[in-house]
Structure 1
């Protein structure tokens, strides 16, 4: 990446950061391109040159945020932690992200953004499926996931847990939820019976 490209990328990152903060706090409708430009320390013309419209900026910003979360999941999966520890960290992070994403999207004008959001959802689904394939393969390799379970079944099971954890996270004391993660993970892997004695 040459100097010009690096400066351009830095400006885009500043715009994403400012946009995310403002959209999260005030909602899509109440934030103007001028406010984003002011917070990002760029001109409004720069934003229009890079993104064309506020709607496109919103969609690109959201995709950028999701990509960064996926990078965190990849780092966790590639870490030296045990597979249950990785699962716990990924599940907890995904629950937090689900909460952030739900709040973020509540204020979005779906009629104006529906096409862009569908594209984002489709692209992200492909990326998360690739990650999940890697996750399941590692779990099977380390003996935590049954070898004959299909990827679809595992994805459904993981999503079930993640959604319930997200609901629990939103409705109660987050510190208590974090402390009970060991039990969540034990239940995830071993169910009500508990770990089988060898």
Structure 2
């Protein structure tokens, strides 16, 4: 990559970071390209040159942000934490991110939302499914996920627990005291009502 491309990527990252901050804070409808240009310290013309329209900038910003979150999941999965600890960290981070998206996406028009959901489905198939396959493979390798369990069923089970954790974490106002019950829910996630000791 030459110097020009590096500078271009650096400037694009500045724009993405400013746009993500403003869009999530104030919503798509309330933020203008000029607002983003001011925060990113670039000209509005530069933004239009890079992205063409505000809608395209918004779409690209969301997927840039999602890539960053996925990178965090990868870091957690590759960390020295135990598999249950990794699962908890990933679930809670995913719950937080889904709440962010659920607050943001309703601000789009029905046409914009339809297009965005199609792109998100494609993103899920291409990137999130790939990550989840690595997650399941590691869980099976370490003996936390049944070798015979189908990947699709495991993913549905994970999402079911993740949604419940998200709901509980929100109701508990993310207080540290909630951690004990979340740990108990993770125990259920891995061992069911029977429990680890009885199964061993």
**Cα distance 1:179–1:8, how it changes in 2: closer, same or farther (>3 A)?**
farther
Structure 1: gaps spanning 5 or more residues? none
Report if aligned partners of 2:165, 2:182 keep a CA contact under 8 Å in 1: no
Aligned partners of 2:106 and 2:113 also within 8 Å: no
Moved beyond 6 Å, runs of 4+: none
Alignment of 1:14-163 (within 5 A): 14-163=14-163
- CA deviation profile, 1:23-54 (whole Å, cap 9, x unmatched): 11221111111111111100111111111110
Deviation of 1:59 after TM superposition, in Å, equals: 0.5
Structure 2 Cα separation of the partners of residues 20 and 178 of structure 1: 29
Secondary structure class of the residue paired with 1:88: helix
Match of 1:170 in 2: 170
Report how far residue 124 of structure 1 moved: 2.9
What do the CA deviations read for 1:131-174 (whole angstroms, capped 9, x no partner)? Answer: 11111111111111111110011001000001111122223321
- RMSD after superposition: 1.5
CA contact (8 A) 2:94 2:162 kept: yes
TM-score w.r.t. structure 1 length? 0.93
Contact 2:59–2:116 (CA under 8 A) maintained in structure 1: yes
Q: Which runs of 5+ in 2 are unaligned?
A: none
Report the equivalent of 2:190: 189
| Counterparts in 2 of 1:114 and 1:80: CA distance versus 1, 3 Å | same
Alpha-carbon deviation of 1:179? 4.5
Q: What secondary structure sits across from 2:196 in the alignment?
A: coil
- Matched residues in 2 for 1:112 and 1:98: separation? 18
Shift of 1:11: 1.1
Aligned partners of 2:87, 2:14: CA distance in 1, in Å?
32
Task: Answer yes or no: is the 8 Å Cα contact 1:19–1:61 preserved in 2.
Answer: yes
The TM-score normalised by the length of structure 2 is 0.92
